[in-house]
């Protein structure tokens, strides 16, 4: 994500609102662009609910997320807080036939973090071959592609996505994507070369190998820390009746091994492999979403074992609608039960000195109740119970958290 100044952001927001005001005087329609049955996770970056006008090639939209939180850790609570997690603004434009533009501006934590999360131009040569360049989302796993708050029944994002992979990871770069259809089957791919990670992934205040720390680097959209491109690629296959399966890879050199032409470190790389799937069991209307990822990171043998060379993480969401009908004036309201299981092991291996397992793991379960007056708006109550084991494998620290919040497209 690119960090931008507050004044620039305010200008962007005013511009956005101005365009929104203009567009709303036209014949408005809030709609998704295409039939959801033909959509895949890869389409989420550009296929969002948006306000369109017959008089303008520009579409506008966004979403807002806010919640209350009450957490206790080892019996100690800091009390009740209210969080304005993020306000995200979308804007897209059809520049010309076969050329379009889309951007996503995100303001997180009440304005503490402001970023351009996605801003790319798409040039369609063929449905199977589209060029995309700008600030692109690295398609590692499905959550990174498809993370809009209103789509999920949970206030927190999956641990694997946020704290192992770098959720909403985007970088400057370019590449290609495409889709093709055959009966009920859809095949899609994405492949990009972008700027990559940096040394902070193995030297950070989390005291663990932590890919998300690279998102803190404000220079990463202007300069590739390692000087070597990171490749991210994903292939997905979807059957309209069975669901979608995605396989993705991201890898490259992450460290600055040369400076001013001098070799200052051994070259070190990271490789990440992810599997994702989602399906809806038609008989029960149960939706299951899951993702697993493995990462391998080169770490010098003379560095501390605090930083892991291998990581694994996974999450599974199960969402069961229990009531779907008209409520008040909402025609397609639904009440859902849901549950999430999170697991991350940031440091797979054994200590050299004792041959005992290295810890640094997290397990969390989150039962949830959500109410959707419309598909694009969700009110949710979550209860999350989490077990954190430190690197030495001492008894886990337990934390319990209640959330009540909402997320809505607009």
Partner 1 sequence: MKTYLNFVILILGIVFFSSCELTATGEPEEYELLDGPTEGLSKAESRRFVLGDVAFNDQIFTTETGLGPIFTGTSCVSCHAGDGKGHPFNGFTRFGQSDETGNHFLDQGGPQLQNKALPGYEPENLPSGAPHTKLVAPIVTGLGFLEAVTDDYLLSLQDPNDLDDDGIRGVVHWNHIPDYVKPHVDAVTQNGMYITRFGKKASVYNLLEQTADAYNQDIGITSVYEPYDTYSGDMQEPEIDEKTVNDVVFYLKTLKAPIQRNQDDPNVIAGQQVFETIDCAKCHLPEMQTGYSPIDAISNKTFHPYTDLLLHDMGPELDDGYTEGTATSAQWRTAPLWGLGLSGDSQGNAYYLMHDGRAHSIQQAIMLHGGEAINSRNMYENLSDEEKNKLLAFLESL
Which residues are at the interface with partner 1 (CB under 8 A)?
Answer: 70, 72-77, 80, 199-200, 202-207, 255, 264-266, 268, 300, 302-306, 326-328, 335, 351-354, 356, 358-359, 369, 381, 383, 385, 390-395, 398-400, 402, 404
Nearer to partner 1, 260 or 353 (CB): 353
What span, in angstroms and rounded, lies between the C-alpha atoms of 156 and 152?
9
Residues ≥6 apart with Cβ < 8 Å to 302: none
Phi and psi torsions of 35, nearest 5°: -65, 130
To partner 1, the closest distance from the beta carbon of 17 in angstroms equals 32
**Nearer of residues 133 and 227 to partner 1, judged by Cβ:** 227
What is the DSSP track for 103-160? EEEEEEGGGTEEEEEEEEEEEEEETTEEEEEEEEE--STTTTTS--GGG-S-SSPPHI
Sign of the dihedral defined by the CA atoms of residues 45, 375, 370, 285, in that order: negative
CB of 330 to partner 1, least distance (A): 10
Query: Token digits for 367?
Result: 């039962």
At closest approach, how far in Å is the CB of 383 from partner 1?
A: 6
Q: How far apart are CA 326 and CA 328, in angstroms?
A: 7
Shortest separation between residue 21's beta carbon and partner 1, angstroms: 34
C-beta of 264 vs 281, nearer to partner 1: 264
CB of 130 to partner 1, least distance (A): 39
Degrees, nearest 5: CA angle 36-280-379? 75
Tell me how far, at minimum, the Cβ of 391 lies from partner 1, in Å.
8
- Cα–Cα distance measured from residue 312 to residue 373, given in angstroms and rounded to the nearest whole number: 36
Minimal distance, residue 398 CB to partner 1, in Å: 4
Residue 174 or 341 with smaller CB distance to partner 1: 341
Exposed/middle/buried for residue 219 (C-beta within 10 Å: 0-12, 13-18, 19+):
exposed
Q: Least Å distance between CB 344 and partner 1?
A: 18
- Shortest Cβ distance from residue 205 to partner 1 (Å)? 5
Residue 256 contacts residue 265 (beta carbons within 8 Å): yes
Nearer residue to partner 1 within complex by CB, 245 or 363: 363
Task: Pick between residue 41 and residue 347 the one whose CB is nearest to partner 1.
Answer: 347
CA angle 265, 269, 275 (to 5 degrees): 165
Nearer to partner 1, 193 or 369 (CB): 369
Shortest spacing between CB 253 and partner 1, in angstroms: 12
Spell out the residues 6+ positions from residue 376 whose beta carbon is closer than 8 angstroms to its own.
Answer: 30, 49, 150, 408, 409
Query: Tokens 């070597």 identify what position?
Result: 228
Separation of alpha carbons 139 and 248, rounded Å: 7
Strand partners, 236: 188, 246
**Cβ closest to partner 1, residue 223 vs residue 242:** 223
Nearest to 237 by CA among 170, 162, 184: 184
Residue 243 C-beta: closest distance to partner 1, Å: 30
Alpha carbon of 78 to those of 39, 73, 75, 118: distances in Å?
Answer: 42, 9, 10, 35
Nearest residue (CB) to partner 1, 87 versus 368: 368
Measured from the CB atom, is 40 or 299 closer to partner 1? 299
Nearer to partner 1, 172 or 358 (CB): 358
d(CA 106, CA 89): 6
- Note the Cα 315 to chain centre separation in Å: 13
């Amino acid at each position: 994500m690119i960090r931008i100044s507050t004044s620039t952001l305010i200008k962007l927001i005013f511009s956005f609102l101005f365009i929104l005001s203009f567009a709303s005087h036209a014949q408005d329609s809030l709609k998704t662009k295409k039939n959801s049955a033909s959509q895949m996770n890869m389409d989420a970056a550009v296929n969002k609910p948006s306000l369109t006008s017959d008089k303008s090639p520009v579409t506008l939209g966004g979403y807002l997320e806010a919640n209350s939180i009450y957490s206790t850790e080892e019996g100690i609570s800091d009390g009740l807080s209210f969080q304005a997690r993020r306000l995200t603004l979308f804007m897209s434009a059809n520049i010309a036939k076969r050329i379009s533009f889309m951007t996503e501006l995100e303001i997180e934590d009440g304005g503490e973090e402001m970023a351009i999360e996605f801003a790319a131009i798409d040039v369609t040569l063929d449905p199977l071959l589209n060029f995309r360049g700008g600030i692109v989302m690295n398609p590692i796993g499905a959550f990174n592609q498809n993370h809009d708050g209103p789509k999920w029944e949970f206030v927190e994002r999956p641990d694997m996505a946020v704290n192992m992979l770098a959720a909403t990871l985007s970088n400057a770069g370019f590449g290609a994507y495409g889709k093709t259809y055959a009966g009920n089957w859809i095949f899609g791919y994405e492949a990009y070369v972008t700027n990559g990670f940096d040394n902070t992934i193995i030297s950070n205040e989390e005291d663990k190998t932590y890919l998300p720390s690279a998102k803190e680097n404000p220079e990463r959209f202007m300069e590739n820390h390692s000087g070597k491109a990171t490749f991210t690629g994903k292939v997905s296959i979807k059957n309209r009746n069975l669901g979608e399966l995605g396989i993705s890879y991201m890898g490259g050199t992450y460290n600055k091994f040369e400076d001013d032409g001098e070799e200052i470190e051994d070259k070190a790389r990271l490789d990440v492999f992810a599997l994702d799937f989602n399906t809806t069991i038609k008989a029960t209307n149960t939706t299951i979403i899951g993702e697993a990822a493995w990462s391998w990171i080169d770490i010098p043998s003379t560095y501390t074992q605090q930083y892991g060379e291998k990581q694994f993480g996974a999450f599974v969401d199960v969402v069961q609608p229990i009531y779907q009908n008209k409520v008040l004036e909402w025609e397609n309201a639904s009440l859902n039960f849901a549950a999430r299981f999170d697991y991350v092991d940031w440091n797979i291996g054994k200590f050299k000195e004792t041959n005992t397992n290295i810890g640094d793991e997290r397990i969390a379960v989150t039962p949830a109740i959500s109410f959707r007056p419309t598909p694009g708006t969700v009110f949710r109550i979550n209860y999350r119970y989490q077990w954190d084991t430190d690197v030495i494998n001492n008894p886990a620290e337990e934390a319990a958290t209640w959330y009540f919040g909402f997320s809505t497209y607009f």
